Chain A
């Protein structure tokens, strides 16, 4: 489904722009510039404001990124529990550094603030699904689910 169709679906919903952005990201993993311009038109807002919405929320990206978004919690509890080792393992396994995507467009690596799973630090999420008590040894097993 392209973004025009998605936007049309949410056009009449109050506050529908955010819902539409989520739906577009579901398809494309990011919000292309044309989609933001189109959204502004559909929801009767200036493009500058639609862009403000798209960049305000950290779950939206305005830059192209890999399909499966891996986010590593960098808040204090995960930090103490060894998030840095998890970061290093992910970077090594995927061959990329934080805040970038794999060349095949399969994975993106990002930081996040606390996701509310502090009972099992360190935590990562992939496409919103949390994985708790992550260790470097578990990384390839987790990633295998998405390959």
Chain B
């Protein structure tokens, strides 16, 4: 332990602690910009500088370790002056158009400028004038706004091992660029959007589709139908002034109706359906000697990753479309028939915690209904903007029900939003289908939690099924390399591209730390535990769908509408 004094407060902290960590212990708030709680220390922005007695130069609190007897001053006029100058210098290269920025009021640089009362910047504003990169349907990059903190690079390189971003040039010429300085679409980017969460400013964001939605709502001949993904509800509250998990589902539905959606349905319905299709696919593969381990296919960032980096393992991917796309093909066929609405009048909107879903919806093969199955995808953040724009008071809004046929869901679907959730949901159903008995405790807690890789074994009458779960693609890589080397012991592997699963997706409210992801995961299991029905095969509307339309899992109609195939991306460079 080391005894240090911070702003006159004495404290003993473990050896090797940084000034920033020690200050946190005593409740002294030091500003940061390039620092990220889940990433390596970068110390490149210098906003966190402090005075250390005996040192002529100011020290960066994020990187400077404490020593015995260290006396630190974090708020002297010298420190404040230095921090102001640092901010002024950063702002001198930053566009002054906060009002138009996607991160207005949710920007770390803007907050610091406000905190430090930056008024008349003595440094001339010089912006590079580099064009925005609008090459992908999921993400845009606005390099002029970049403050060179490099958090996006670490998210892409270390957390996701995608390596789509790097630094070009050096010193004052340095820039964050996609590989080889090309457009994002030509880089290995898998469109997970984790760089959006990492970015402290508005240099990376989602491609917005709110205008397309408004045009559809304005058209009296168009029936606007939406699906809500499992991870959206609990995080959406964060966008509209509530705590994580506090927005009730039926109030969310009522809000969407207020905005002008004609019908609100649920992706959870097709999450339950996915379990029936995917569970049966797994059992068929095990029985018939099919390709194992089988990988889940719900996460479009993961699909892009597999198609990009593991094209030799595409046969291991479940052929099941993601719940979003299953919903898309059913809403313009089965649901349209049930509701007696011509499919061509339906404008299918999905509300997703994800930016890769925008890319997935635009895949040319996703047109099994005879139309583009999902017309647009809105992220949780975009729906938050819609709600703020519409001025709805959610505390006074009366709850509203889902429309019929594709709105029912079970607790098994709810947990799809968390890492391990698809696996747990599958085990609940596979157990009962194989054992032909009721599962006593539906909680497979071994599948839960934030650990990078989880594994479990389930004994099904002598058939021992080995499963593994990974979230974040650096963890997925470990399991994939085992499969590639032929040493994977598993039958079934769940992969979610984003840390924490969909609750940490690239389209979720800006997530500044993994602690928030853990909080969202807790909210998911609370919702699951409160459900009366918690097994996908007991979803009555799904049963009805099989009776009236699909007839059986993996049947002819299922193959036509609910299953897909994958393509190696054959990127020129990785």
Binding site for B on A (CB under 8 A): 33, 36-37, 40, 46-49, 51-52, 55-58, 62
Number of A-B contacts (CB under 8 A): 48
B183, chain A: closest CB distance, angstroms? 14
Quick check: is B214 within 8 A (CB to CB) of the other chain? no
A51, chain B: closest CB distance, angstroms? 5
Are A51 and B170 within 8 A (Cβ)? Answer: no
Mark B170-198 against chain A: 1 for CB-CB distance below 8 A, else 0.
10000001111100000110000000000
Are A51 and B574 within 8 A (Cβ)? Answer: no
Interface residues of B, count at CB 8 A: 19
Choice from A36, A37, A48, A56 contacting B169 with Cβ under 8 Å: A56
Are A47 and B170 within 8 A (Cβ)? Answer: no
Are A56 and B166 within 8 A (Cβ)? Answer: no
Are B168 and A47 within 8 A (Cβ)? Answer: no
Are B179 and A55 within 8 A (Cβ)? Answer: no
How far, in angstroms, from A17 to B313 measured CA to CA in the complex? 31
How far, in angstroms, from A56 to B157 measured CA to CA in the complex? 18
A58 / chain B contacts, CB cutoff of 8 Å: 170
Quick check: is B28 within 8 A (CB to CB) of the other chain? no
Known pairs A33-B180, A36-B180; A49 contacts B163 (CB<8 A): yes
How far, in angstroms, from A112 to B551 measured CA to CA in the complex? 74
A44, chain B: closest CB distance, angstroms? 12
Main secondary structure on A side of the interface with B: helix
Beyond the given A48-B187, A49-B163, A62-B181, could you list 15 further A-B residue pairs with CB under 8 A, ordered by the A residue number?
A33-B180, A37-B180, A37-B573, A46-B166, A46-B179, A46-B188, A46-B574, A48-B165, A48-B180, A51-B166, A51-B168, A51-B177, A51-B181, A56-B169, A58-B170
Binding site for A on B (CB under 8 A): 157, 163-170, 177-181, 187-188, 572-574
B163 / chain A contacts, CB cutoff of 8 Å: 46-49
How far, in angstroms, from A77 to B39 measured CA to CA in the complex? 43
Are A40 and B168 within 8 A (Cβ)? Answer: no
A55 / chain B contacts, CB cutoff of 8 Å: 167-170, 181
Are B572 and A37 within 8 A (Cβ)? Answer: yes
Are A52 and B167 within 8 A (Cβ)? Answer: yes
B571, chain A: closest CB distance, angstroms? 10
A-B contact pairs, 18 of them (CB 8 A): A36-B180, A46-B574, A47-B179, A47-B573, A48-B157, A48-B163, A48-B164, A48-B178, A48-B187, A49-B163, A49-B166, A51-B166, A51-B180, A52-B166, A52-B168, A55-B167, A55-B169, A56-B170
- Most chain B Cβ neighbours within 10 Å, of A36, A48, A55: A48
How far, in angstroms, from A51 to B574 measured CA to CA in the complex? 11
How far, in angstroms, from A58 to B169 measured CA to CA in the complex? 8
How far, in angstroms, from A36 to B574 measured CA to CA in the complex? 11
A33 / chain B contacts, CB cutoff of 8 Å: 180
A40 / chain B contacts, CB cutoff of 8 Å: 573
B178 / chain A contacts, CB cutoff of 8 Å: 48
Nearest chain A residue, comparing its CB with the CB of B187 = A48
Are B179 and A48 within 8 A (Cβ)? Answer: yes
A75, chain B: closest CB distance, angstroms? 14
- Most chain B Cβ neighbours within 10 Å, of A52, A56, A57, A58: A52
A51 / chain B contacts, CB cutoff of 8 Å: 166, 168, 177, 179-181
How far, in angstroms, from A62 to B173 measured CA to CA in the complex? 15
Nearest chain A residue, comparing its CB with the CB of B169 = A55
B166 / chain A contacts, CB cutoff of 8 Å: 46, 48-49, 51-52
A48 / chain B contacts, CB cutoff of 8 Å: 157, 163-166, 178-180, 187
How far, in angstroms, from A37 to B60 measured CA to CA in the complex? 37
Closest 10 CB pairs of A and B: A48-B166, A46-B163, A47-B573, A48-B179, A52-B166, A37-B573, A55-B168, A48-B163, A56-B170, A55-B169
Nearest chain B residue, comparing its CB with the CB of A45 = B163
A49 / chain B contacts, CB cutoff of 8 Å: 163, 166
B170, chain A: closest CB distance, angstroms? 5
How far, in angstroms, from A52 to B188 measured CA to CA in the complex? 15
How far, in angstroms, from A40 to B157 measured CA to CA in the complex? 15
How far, in angstroms, from A112 to B169 measured CA to CA in the complex? 14
B180, chain A: closest CB distance, angstroms? 5
How far, in angstroms, from A57 to B177 measured CA to CA in the complex? 16
Are A47 and B181 within 8 A (Cβ)? Answer: no
Choice from B167, B169, B574 contacting A47 with Cβ under 8 Å: B574
B572 / chain A contacts, CB cutoff of 8 Å: 37
